[in-house]
């Protein structure tokens, strides 16, 4: 990871670290990621491959302890906590879902730090969290963050940011970001979220269209999905991105890519599909990595991680350049506090 002697190297801890999107974004802004936590063993393999200097605690957050695991004090704590309980898809159980209760484990850990609690919290989840259970779920989250000692007002400290409008990457990916500032370190709760960026690049520049992909990415004549895609492409724009959702094919007519999903490697559904010179195929993991902002010279998958797991980890990740803008704002606030 890149470091700079000219900037103070503030420290970061990452919960639900996944394959390391938050961590890479903060490292790119010259933060030092000192520890991370993730329970998925495949994601841990990927993380350890790319962040060898960071201590990874491979265990469920329920088993993580500030004292027992010797979690060092950090300036910023990041967490993309489980979104399935609050998503529009599924049964929407919220805090009645074990995964939904993981949020309270974050609060427990913050309290375990005592007076050394993180100065800034940066959380990520789905937009629907704001309105889940008629807003009651988010009201509870607000109360818990405030009670833990942080400035946090929904109208000032939250923003729904879309990759396609806040970076040059053409992926239609909306996510809710929440930033909270410690009462002990900041006099106000002013966190500046990034403004929209109109410089979105043509999605085709992120794809390998000048060379044939591996045969396994193409739909062959025996595929139950090939006919569906052929009919949709013939009726639409051959240069568009397509996606099979349940029993119909959607065309993306906005020169962008559908939001990359964790289940896009499980079969024919929910994976972006294109037609190139050689046939109709799925986007490759390498292409999906680019569409999440993971630079080839900074990140790679270890050889033992399967293609299905690669897709899953990419779909669960954050878009690196977008979070990097939030990391830059964290640095600005910390520098301002320290008189830099």
Query: Which sequence positions are flagged as catalytic?
Result: 83
Strand 248-252 and strand 241-245: the pairing is antiparallel
Phi-psi sector, 256: left (phi>0), alpha (psi -120 to 50), beta: beta
Which residue intervals of the chain are DSSP H helices? 21-28, 41-50, 102-112, 136-147, 154-157, 163-166, 226-235, 285-291, 307-316, 320-337
User: Crossing angle of helices 102-112/136-147, nearest 10°?
Assistant: 10
Which helix (H) or strand (E) segment is 70 a member of? none
Mention every residue, 6+ apart, whose C-beta is less than 8 A from residue 193.
159, 161, 177, 179, 326, 329
Please list the residues that pair with 159 across neighbouring strands. Answer: 177
Q: Up-side HSE of residue 244: CA atoms within 13 Å toward CB?
A: 24
CA gap 334, 12 in Å, rounded: 12
Report the distance separating Cα 261 and Cα 118, nearest Å: 31
Those residues with Cβ within 8 angstroms of residue 322's Cβ, 6 or more apart along the chain or in another chain: 25, 161, 163, 166, 167, 194, 293
Compute the distance between CA of residue 70 and CA of residue 21 in angstroms, rounded to an integer: 23
Q: How far apart are CA 43 and CA 20, in angstroms?
A: 9
Give me Rg for the CA atoms of the chain. Answer: 20
Locate the DSSP E strands across 117-240: 120-125, 150-151, 158-162, 171-172, 174-182
């Amino acid at each position: 990871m890149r470091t700079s002697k000219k900037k103070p190297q503030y420290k970061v801890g990452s919960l639900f670290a996944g394959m390391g999107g938050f961590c890479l974004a903060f490292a790119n802004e010259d933060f030092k990621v000192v520890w991370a936590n993730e329970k998925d063993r495949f994601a841990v393999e990927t993380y350890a491959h790319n962040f060898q200097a960071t201590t990874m605690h491979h265990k469920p957050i329920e088993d993580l302890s500030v004292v027992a695991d010797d979690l060092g004090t950090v300036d910023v704590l990041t967490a993309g906590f489980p979104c399935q309980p609050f998503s529009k898809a599924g049964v929407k159980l919220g805090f009645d879902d074990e995964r939904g209760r993981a949020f309270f484990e974050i609060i427990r850990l913050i309290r375990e730090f005592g007076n050394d609690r993180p100065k800034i919290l940066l959380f990520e989840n789905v937009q629907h969290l704001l309105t889940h259970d008629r807003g009651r779920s988010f009201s509870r989250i607000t109360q818990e963050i405030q009670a833990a000692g942080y400035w946090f007002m929904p109208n000032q400290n939250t923003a729904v940011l879309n990759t396609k409008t806040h970076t040059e990457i053409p992926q239609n990916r909306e996510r809710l970001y929440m930033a909270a500032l410690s009462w002990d370190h900041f006099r106000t709760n002013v966190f500046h979220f990034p403004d929209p960026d109109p410089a979105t690049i043509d999605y085709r520049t992120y794809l390998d269209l000048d060379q044939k992909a591996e045969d396994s990415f193409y739909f062959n004549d025996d595929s139950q999905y090939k006919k569906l895609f052929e009919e949709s492409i013939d009726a639409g724009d051959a240069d568009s991105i397509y996606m099979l959702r349940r029993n119909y094919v959607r065309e993306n007519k906005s020169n962008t890519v559908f939001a990359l999903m964790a289940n896009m490697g499980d079969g024919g559904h929910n994976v972006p599909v294109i037609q190139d010179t050689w046939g109709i195929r799925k986007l490759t993991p390498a292409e999906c990595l680019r569409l999440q902002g993971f630079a080839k010279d900074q990140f790679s998958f270890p050889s033992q991680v399967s293609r299905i797991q690669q897709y899953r980890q990419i779909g669960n990740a954050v878009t690196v350049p977008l979070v990097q803008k939030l990391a830059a704002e964290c640095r600005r606030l910390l520098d301002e506090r320290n008189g830099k």
